[in-house]
Structure 1
């Protein structure tokens, strides 16, 4: 048995598990919801039409009906509003989202979109995420928040649409450009997970069989493939988080939508990269140590064989001289 193979084996197992969690986090309601890539807070979405009380044309309620609705909200919560509508707090934000027919938050995961409400309310510090539903799990999922919001607004109590709340088209246009990067990330995670799984099996072979440097080299190759795949995927995720949140906050804050990075997801994916890097280094060390030991054994054998031949030659010379 090669006990030194246990360390890279453990690293490969940890990287495999963490990568799987990165891939499947949020694939069903309540499963690692806090490990999202990006979350949108839409609890105050539409506050910009509270004072104007206007609507778009088409099969939507009249300006009078929407005006009455918002006037009612303004009347009921007047004691909690200071200066303007941006001062909405607590249950006011909860009521606004409910009356529009949308959820208070939407979270992007690698293979789906989840939505829900805040508990106890939208503005409570440290409020927890109460998941309502998640979309169907799909490989290479495309994040289309505009379509989701528009659908919910249209079937909501007011039957309005995104144009009513002046939803900026730049948000979805920018997100569409990032969807290709998300597709690449999915593929890279899949490669990293597959290579890590193969590395686990190869490490077991190295553990039970006191193998040659070839086994160490093969393990190093698998660990390197997994490491590079996870590294590139993590870099892409980091860039996507930054660009998506900046984009949404730039165009969406004015109408009451805010985006946040999933810090826990970042920690998860970068820890997977780190442990796979350690596994790769361990196999490099194994390969180098094996090479050095093999060279030492060869030198010792050569020395023994050379001394034996020298001794036999000396004995033969003595016999020929009659000694």
Structure 2
């Protein structure tokens, strides 16, 4: 019985980490530092001001999360944190459309400037429309499936407090969860790398820059690592419990 406490706590930890991956950035004050991707337009605004002496009414940063997109302004010379952050409504299929976001800001401020005059590369929007948004949606689905499997492990773990030998069967659930978390984490890693490379390559000439910190990657890969380790611990817990109960008879 007692041998199942550690793997149960590990599975609960995985459930929390996976939930955080999905919920990061769901409001202006919640885990804003855990963006999958950040589109920085300060260079674009500086270039526009240098050429026209006018301001460009768009946000400084547009952040992409699993279920929302948030935007904000730098309060101190391009140094975080962001202020005046607003987020899109939470959606199970959140789409990141850079051109649409920028044009929406321009339109809301009745600006005469448009994306064509800014020479915004259409290939960036096309890449998100055709590839990146769909890939992130697939990652979202696998996160949800992983949550279901981990939830089953947690519930199963409660049963093992009374029948400890059942702990070994939890590996069936944790293995499935690990596969889902591995796929999601790999997709996120690939999208981060490819999308930032594309934006920085195509948008450098007009001052666009994309980047990300390691926080979201640390979160998602930690969930996978802890879950994978819990598989081993659950297996050992089942063996120990079975041996202990065998000695009772």
Q: TM-score, normalised by structure 2?
A: 0.92
Rg larger for: 1
Within the candidate set 144, 148, 151, 2:97 is matched to: 144
**Secondary structure of the structure 2 residue equivalent to 1:202:** helix
CA deviations 1:125-183 (Å, max 9, x no partner) are xx322242100110021111111111212333532111011001111111221111111
Q: Give distance in 2, aligned partners of 1:135 and 1:262.
A: 21
Taking only aligned residues, the RMSD between alpha carbons, in angstroms, comes to 2.2
Aligned residues: 248
Deviation of 1:192 (Å) = 1.0
CA deviations 1:287-308 (Å, max 9, x no partner) are 44456668x76xxx8xxxxxxx
**Secondary structure of the structure 1 residue equivalent to 2:94:** coil
**Secondary structure of the structure 2 residue equivalent to 1:40:** strand
- Aligned pairs (5 A) from 1:122-201: 122=78, 124=79, 127-156=80-109, 158-176=111-129, 177-201=131-155
**Secondary structure of the structure 2 residue equivalent to 1:259:** strand
CA deviations 1:234-278 (Å, max 9, x no partner) are 111011100110010000111111101231111111111111111
Contact kept, 8 Å, 1:37 with 1:109, in 2: the verdict is yes
Q: Give distance in 1, aligned partners of 2:48 and 2:75.
A: 26
**Structure 2 residues without counterparts, runs of 5 or longer:** none
Deviation of 1:44 (Å) = 2.2
**Secondary structure of the structure 2 residue equivalent to 1:197:** helix
**Structure 1 residues without counterparts, runs of 5 or longer:** 54-69, 74-95, 302-323
- Aligned pairs (5 A) from 1:1-323: 2-48=1-47, 70=52, 73=53, 99-122=55-78, 124=79, 127-156=80-109, 158-176=111-129, 177-207=131-161, 209-212=162-165, 215-289=166-240
Going from structure 1 to structure 2, the CA distance change for 1:109 and 1:131 (only over 3 Å counts) comes to: farther
**Secondary structure of the structure 1 residue equivalent to 2:42:** coil
**Secondary structure of the structure 1 residue equivalent to 2:62:** strand
